[in-house]
Structure 1
């Protein structure tokens, strides 16, 4: 496989609850590289409340990190994105280009309150699709309204949504409950991306190799390649999956 692509990472220092310093961010990029990751989309938490000010702050912090990281690891490519907490003004903020999409494409990484009602989540996904965006539901294993009814996930996919799960949920490091849920998602071929959702190098590290090996062994190398690399390459090229 031609290097893994991590589409969900809180690696930009001092902008959210991810890396708290440039040194920590660089330790995370080094760890990611040693895990076989060759491209990272930085996805700091975003809501459309601070608008252009927030966007400029993220761009500046990302540019500094990109310069430092790619100088030390020339083969590692970094892209700016965001993990968007959905709100009624999200599409407006995206249209104004005050919320970063994933790598400048039409793909967006979206999260909701884990306990939110299915009706609200589905409406949000519909709004994004109607606005011309390709929504990826972040860490889909967390949503109570989805994981008690697999048909809802299939309906969202049919609408045009994509599903991302965290590597640590699949490996069992986030608990037996999430491992059971992600096992069902993989078994039914419902996932499109597996990502680290890394926040630091200790408790929530950018580790992916262990998860990839077990996924390939249980669900096939072809599906694993799609989840860890091929689908993300299509994302970066703004192609449909």
Structure 2
């Protein structure tokens, strides 16, 4: 596989690209600028995930679907080769399961297979009851940016327990290259090295800050866990979600590239 091929065909399952609905793209111009940046980064498909529930209780499923469909028409009109699909960044709260079952809260790709779950940034609370309830609906939980959650930063072993339980993990691409500070970067690197990741996603909010950048994270994941794992996290697993197919639960097999003997000699000289 050539280097150019490696850096294309990415699928982003977490992006606030939909204009005027939350704290992401403010208007269509922002969305178009973000979309072009994403294409330049090698991203071919984005699941638009505006916030739902919590402080965004007014965001309803049918409105999200309508807005994303309109955004696709705008992208096509402007000849930006990007596919967009509906989804949501869902704040965990009472009543969430019933709203997912009815379709009022949107699953990733609207396939009712995977749900992007957002914890409060400042704390962690047990997710097992939520994961059990989702499983009864035939859905799988995807935990959004665990490396940025203060509770998990203080209890990193919980992440491995959740992965073993079947929860999928979405790490923010920028975290892996230092965009959210040293603590989140260290946690992201730890997760990558141990294969406790299933998706690298941009969580993009703007064309100026928190942009839809993927290539740097792909390169860093390749350094830490090997090209095979990086391709799974940036392309194959998110593509499965976008198409409504299952993603293997549990840790991902990682194989960091071996350093050549002359590099090792050079460090010891």
**TM-score, length of structure 2 as denominator length:** 0.83
- Is residue 10–residue 197 contact of structure 1 (8 Å, CA) maintained in 2? yes
CA RMSD of aligned residues (A): 1.8
Q: Distance in 1 between matches of 2:124 and 2:12?
A: 29
Deviation at 1:74, TM superposition (A): 5.7
- Is residue 13–residue 242 contact of structure 2 (8 Å, CA) maintained in 1? no
Q: Does 1:239 align with 2:249?
A: no
Identify if the C-alpha distance between structure 1 residues 188 and 54 changes in structure 2 by more than 3 Å, giving closer, same or farther.
same
- Is residue 107–residue 116 contact of structure 2 (8 Å, CA) maintained in 1? yes
- Is residue 35–residue 80 contact of structure 2 (8 Å, CA) maintained in 1? no
Picking from 20, 23, 28, the partner of 1:22 is 28
Alignment of 1:94-109 (within 5 A): 94-105=100-111, 106-109=113-116
- Is residue 39–residue 78 contact of structure 1 (8 Å, CA) maintained in 2? yes
Cα deviations across residues 155-188 of structure 1 (Å, max 9, x unaligned)? Answer: 2122221001111111102111111111111111
Q: Aligned residue pairs: how many? A: 239
Deviation at 1:144, TM superposition (A): 3.0
Picking from 67, 70, 78, the partner of 2:73 is 67
Alignment of 1:1-241 (within 5 A): 1=6, 3-47=9-53, 54-73=60-79, 75-105=81-111, 106-119=113-126, 121-237=127-243, 238-241=245-248
Q: Distance in 2 between matches of 1:117 and 1:45?
A: 19
Structure 1 runs of 4+ aligned residues shifted over 4 Å read 48-51
Q: Distance in 1 between matches of 2:15 and 2:232?
A: 19
- Is residue 162–residue 192 contact of structure 1 (8 Å, CA) maintained in 2? yes
Deviation at 1:236, TM superposition (A): 2.3
Q: Distance in 1 between matches of 2:57 and 2:220?
A: 41
Q: Which moved more, 1:204-213 or 1:230-239?
A: 230-239
Q: Which moved more, 1:31-40 or 1:227-236?
A: 227-236
Q: Structure 1: which 5+ runs fail to align?
A: none
Q: Secondary structure at the match of 2:190?
A: helix
Q: Distance in 1 between matches of 2:53 and 2:110?
A: 17
Q: Secondary structure at the match of 1:23?
A: helix
Largest Rg, 1 or 2 = 2
Q: Distance in 1 between matches of 2:71 and 2:136?
A: 34
**TM-score, length of structure 1 as denominator length:** 0.92
Identify if the C-alpha distance between structure 1 residues 115 and 74 changes in structure 2 by more than 3 Å, giving closer, same or farther.
closer
- Matching residue of 2:267: none
Q: Distance in 2 between matches of 1:117 and 1:222?
A: 31
Identify if the C-alpha distance between structure 1 residues 171 and 203 changes in structure 2 by more than 3 Å, giving closer, same or farther.
same
Q: Secondary structure at the match of 2:60?
A: helix
Q: Structure 2: which 5+ runs fail to align?
A: 1-5, 249-269
